[in-house]
Amino acid sequence: MRNPRRTGVTAGALMISLSLVGAVAVLAASLTTSVDRDVDNTFGADYVLSGNGATPIGHEVTDRVKAVPGIRAVTRQRYAVAHLNGFQLVVSGVDVATVDQAVKPQYVAGTTVDVAAGKLMVDQTTATADHLSLGSQVELHFLNGNVGTLTVGAISKPPAGAGKDGGSWEVSLDTLNRFAPEVQDFTLYLNTAPGVDHAKVQAALDSSLASYPQVSVQSQADYKKQVTGQVDTVLHLVYALLGLAIVIAVLGVINTLALSVIERTREIGLLRAVGTSRAQIGRMVRLESVLIAVHGALLGLGLGLAWGITGQKVLTLYGITALTIPWATILAVLIGAALSGLAAAVLPAVKAARTRVLTAIATS
């Protein structure tokens, strides 16, 4: 009450830090949920093989994988760089016979049958941006000099995380081989036979590919872990930076309480004179510290939730389609703020409790 502006600034610093923590927590949880949902909806393969970095895996790897017991279907995918109206893009070629099992394409118009007939599939966002529809003619200039005029035969839903730029250009392997026969298999999607022991299949794959260290094998769970692991790495960095901001805010609480104890030396002496114990004086200071910390935390987390929910809505086009509020994290942060308030009050509370009664009363 004596200096509400200083107390408000102290709580405000904590509020800003925790609002950022709350917003980042909501966005991270929403992104993780969205990735899991997207993988479940679009990833039909049991395993995916890919080269490390931008390295193709080669035909011999494909042949080895097909010979592994328990593998029912192998879906190959290749990539070729092309230009359209001066802009570079990547055309994907897939095994149309098994692609529906491997990646569960979601069509807005057309089907895989149209892609198998030599037509082009684009995503809806790209089709809208380039004014393409079923039957549109697209002239692609490949890096090897070949030029292909393809007809749009299918339009798919935008890929998760592609943003406003979209980016899916897909044809059958036969079509891609006509224009870019030099490209090799880049990704393999593997579907296992019903009832097989996945542990044995994994062991057989690892053994078969032991001489190809440039090839990595991932299950659905591994793929999810890889994507969410990238999110966690960035998240840990952000939390570390925000942790420094919270430490600074806690130092502000300590400073505010220390000044508050000095300014109320006379009042503390009078309280002691009328029978207040040292323990009660210390408790009073600690409760004041907790009040400041929890007040800032509640305001900050409330603001952070609002920011996080708004951010998720804005980033829907970029793959964050599911809103998830991590209540456990929010509660942990709130409890952590209260404990930080207690920790910040240790030295000021000791100083207040040790105040000499007569000296304090005599203070003007």
Say if residues 99 and 112 touch (Cβ distance below 8 Å).
yes
Q: How far apart are CA 39 and CA 43, in angstroms?
A: 5
Which domains are present in the chain?
4-39+225-362 (no CATH), 75-187 (2.40.70)
pLDDT digits (tens, 9 = 90+) for 207-237: 888 888 888 888 878 877 777 777 777 778 8
What's the confidence (pLDDT) of residue 248? 84
What's the confidence (pLDDT) of residue 58? 77
What's the confidence (pLDDT) of residue 141? 93
What's the confidence (pLDDT) of residue 219? 83
What's the confidence (pLDDT) of residue 159? 60
Q: Hey, what are 207's tokens?
A: 């053994």
Say if residues 81 and 113 touch (Cβ distance below 8 Å).
no
Name the DSSP class of 109. Answer: E
Chain Cα centroid distance, residue 35: 8
Q: Hey, what are 210's tokens?
A: 């032991």
Q: Which SS3 state, helix, strand or coil, does residue 208 take?
A: helix
Q: How far apart are CA 106 and CA 224, in angstroms?
A: 20
Q: How far apart are CA 218 and CA 254, in angstroms?
A: 50
Q: How far apart are CA 152 and CA 126, in angstroms?
A: 12
**Rounded to 5 degrees, what are φ and ψ at 312?**
-65, -40
Position 177: which residue type? Answer: N
What's the confidence (pLDDT) of residue 124? 87
DSSP 191-205: EEPTT--HHHHHHHH
Per-residue CA distances from 266 to 240, 275, 280, 345 (Å) = 41, 15, 16, 19
Say if residues 96 and 116 touch (Cβ distance below 8 Å).
yes
DSSP 281-348: HHHHHHHHHHHHHHHHHHHHHHHHHHHHHHHHHHGGGGT--S----HHHHHHHHHHHHHHHHHHTHHH
With the C-alpha atoms ordered 330, 336, 341, 344, is the resulting torsion angle positive or negative?
A: negative
With a cut of 50, which residues of the chain have pLDDT below it? 161-166
Say if residues 168 and 156 touch (Cβ distance below 8 Å).
yes
What's the confidence (pLDDT) of residue 26? 92
First to last CA, the chain: 18
Residue in the block written with tokens 């592609």: 162
Position 118: which residue type? Answer: G
Per-residue CA distances from 242 to 7, 44, 65, 114, 294 (Å) = 21, 39, 47, 51, 17
Q: Hey, what are 79's tokens?
A: 């990539």
Residue in the block written with tokens 């890919």: 50
Say if residues 268 and 353 touch (Cβ distance below 8 Å).
no
Residue in the block written with tokens 């790495």: 233
Q: Hey, what are 68's tokens?
A: 């592994």
Nearest residue to 125 via CA among 155, 154, 170: 155
What's the confidence (pLDDT) of residue 13? 85
pLDDT digits (tens, 9 = 90+) for 104-141: 888 889 999 999 999 999 988 888 888 999 999 999 99
Q: Which SS3 state, helix, strand or coil, does residue 231 take?
A: helix
What's the confidence (pLDDT) of residue 167? 63
Nearest residue to 350 via CA among 241, 246, 239, 268: 268
